[in-house]
Homo-oligomer: A and B are copies of this chain.
């Protein structure tokens, strides 16, 4: 089977396994576009899900009238490190090993992994989509690198993002965010892996070395030629804050764990770009889970809700 098309009906017709590879802020629209053409003999993988991607995709399909829901799952990060070079060329620099995967609801994870592993054999299961959603390294690295290089970005300076701009003090900020993220493990049923373990899993085989996220990124040969963006209107802010940091903030606030560094980072990013990233973020409230206790939330991501899944 080999077909490239922009016709969504044609693309989905007879597809058993569907990968949705778009920025988080487009997932909702893609769900609505797919809704008339998907059914319960299909499997949809959001890669990555970002926080709550599978939950929202599922909700949107139902809202759009799809009553034979496909199986839905997500990865915690993109499977490739790549860049579009021109309209017909992609430069794939790296391929992540041990990429975390979970279905929504999580009771489907093992069965879905069996379907996917012939294509992506190194995916590993995570407990549920809260874990994948909170295990994407992007927000923790991208947002500090953007914010603490504001003038370089606005001045469109050519600067190597990881090798040059990721200095020790930026690393201290990243470490503080990570400490707040790991505090969420105080919540019964959450067991987030340290980001260093996750990134080592992805990239150690390609040469990434170190004990901190700063070291792991600076030493990763596939990141050698990544330049800092030259605009603040970039997915490193527009995706990573409302679909990464704000959801984390909403969980920490809901469950009473520390979040002052996360909040400070979001607040100053809002001010710097004159954008309220809280407003349209995919946080617990937006997903309709704002009043759930931790136990209810965990039960929801593992079992689904009556009516939300067949």
Contacts and interface: CB of A to CB of B under 8 A. Distances in A.
B261 A267 contact: yes
A264 interface: yes
Contacts of A297: none
Contact of A273 (B152, B155, B165, B169): B169
Classify the interface of chain A: helix, strand, loop or mixed: helix
Contacts of A261: 267-268, 271
B148 A272 contact: yes
Interface string A157-194: 00100001111111011001000000000000000000
Interface in A135-164: 147-152, 154-155, 159, 164
Contact of A151 (B148, B154, B263, B267): B148
A237 to B, nearest CB: 11
A294 interface: no
A150 B176 contact: no
A167 B154 contact: yes
A274 interface: yes
A148 B273 CA distance: 13
Contacts of A172: 271-274
A19 to B, nearest CB: 35
A224 interface: no
A214 to B, nearest CB: 11
Contacts of A149: 148-152
B176 A271 contact: yes
Contact of A164 (B155, B268, B273): B155
Nearest to A154: B167
A308 interface: no
A273 to B, nearest CB: 6
A151 B166 CA distance: 7
A268 B264 CA distance: 7
Contacts of A152: 149, 151-152
A152 B151 CA distance: 9
A97 to B, nearest CB: 29
A232 B151 contact: no
A264 to B, nearest CB: 4
7 contacts: A147-B148, A149-B151, A152-B152, A154-B167, A155-B164, A170-B272, A172-B271
Given A151-B164, A155-B164, A172-B271, 5 more contacts: A148-B148, A149-B150, A149-B151, A154-B168, A155-B167
